[in-house]
Amino acid sequence: MRWNGGTCVVFAAASILALAAGVGLSQERSKPAGAGFVDVHLHLKEGGWKQGGGRPQRNGQARDESGYEVAAKSLLEHMDRHGVAKGLLMPPPRDPQRKGESETPGLLEVARRYPDRLFVAAGGFELNPIIHETAPAKVTPELRVRFEREAERILADGAKAFGEMTALHLSFFDQHAFEECPPDHPLFLLLADIAARHDVPIDLHMEAVPKDMPLPPGFDRVSPNNPATLQANIPGLERLLAHERKARIVWQHIGWDNTGCMTVGLLRRLLAAHSNLFLALRVEERGRSMGGTPMPNRIVDRAGQIVPEWLDLLQEFPDRFVIGTDEFFCPPGGGKSPPQSFEETWNMVGQLPAELAAKIGRENAERIYRL
């Protein structure tokens, strides 16, 4: 997840030439294809509007095609190439200082154009700032009522999950937010209650910190927003999981480890202890940490092949993994390109035995998110 206040500074690997030539996806081409896979963590960025980027008209007048719609066509083109039938769109986890205008209405609008292919998770703009701006001891009954009302509204609008929420988000540059709060914050526990009641999952972005630790090397150099010490969050995650066993928690970006603590051993222990924990896999092409050393605990080796201990973990818990590539798709000119993860992640799935690939690439996601 990479964003800069209210303006995304990312640009995913998109089919710019095709779009510039006016080649788009028709509704006929948007039918599920290939292996019917599901990607549970995707981002669209509006990136302005076509022909000068005027805002859409809400008074019934004709308007240019929105940036979300252009970005969605690029996304669908990528999905078709990799046999991905369905994708879950979501806003990033906004921090209290950068609330801005919610992306959720635009995402819901574009998802309605492709009802069999694109779905929406929400809460990153609406709920995440409330959690992060409120100290656990300051949660009042009135705030709980307001928070629950907003969560219920999100689901009534059509969201399939609460996301992207965060308990620990590191800053990668000076305009990039650092966010940290306990995973067992009272409002996270309340969100688990709401999610269980409505049978929807919670999408969670959280670096792994089993115990208090110094900031990983390199992060002090890239951004002044990161603190010198990170607080333990694995104990809080376990308390969140134990609070409401009917609440499905999908921990995102597994395999993209910025603390060095997201080990196969830790994940195996958590999966064995908590039946409501699910893990979304991600492989980024960047193979080095912020400190310049090889990225720790990657799912694939330097040649792009699955590491044996990871394959063992996937085979041990075949019903507990999904795919969340965390790729941003923008219109042409939408921003700078980050290291891509869409192709890298789906190429990894292509190495799995067919039955395991079907579970991790499609069946688990359809069950967990009720798609």
Q: Where do the domains of the chain lie?
A: 28-54+63-368
Distances in Å between the Cα of 297 and the Cα atoms of 123, 288, 289, 327 are 29, 11, 11, 20
**What pLDDT was estimated at residue 210?**
98
Burial 71-83 (b: 16+ CB within 10 A, else e): bbbbbbbbbbebb
> 0.85 exceeded by the pTM?
yes
The pair of structure tokens assigned to 192 is 């688990």
How many beta carbons lie within 10 A of that of residue 11, not counting itself?
21
**What pLDDT was estimated at residue 57?**
33
Rounded Cα gap, residues 96 and 179, in angstroms = 9
CB-based burial label for 102 (10 Å; 0-12, 13-18, 19+): middle
Rounded Cα gap, residues 243 and 192, in angstroms = 8
Rounded Cα gap, residues 368 and 371, in angstroms = 8
Chain centroid offset of residue 146 CA: 25
- Taking alpha carbons only, the member of 38, 102, 47 closest to residue 72 is 47
- Which residues are registered as beta bridge partners of 321? 279
**What pLDDT was estimated at residue 102?**
85
- Segment 354-369 shows an average pLDDT of 98
**What pLDDT was estimated at residue 337?**
58
Rounded Cα gap, residues 354 and 361, in angstroms = 10
136 has a pLDDT exceeding 90: yes
**What pLDDT was estimated at residue 336?**
58
Rounded Cα gap, residues 30 and 316, in angstroms = 35
Cα angle value 98/345/276 (rounded, 5°): 70
In whole numbers, what is the pLDDT of the chain averaged over residues? 86
**What pLDDT was estimated at residue 97?**
82
Confidence of residue 240 (pLDDT cuts 50, 70, 90): very high
DSSP H or E stretch at residue 355: helix 354-358
- Which residues are registered as beta bridge partners of 277? 249
pLDDT in tens, 14-32: 332 222 333 333 333 333 3
**What pLDDT was estimated at residue 66?**
79
> N- to C-terminal Cα distance for the chain?
23
pLDDT in tens, 289-298: 999 999 999 9
Of 99-108, 208-217, 261-270, 323-332, where does mean pLDDT reach its minimum?
99-108
Domain 28-54+63-368: CATH architecture, name and number where available:
Alpha-Beta Barrel (3.20)
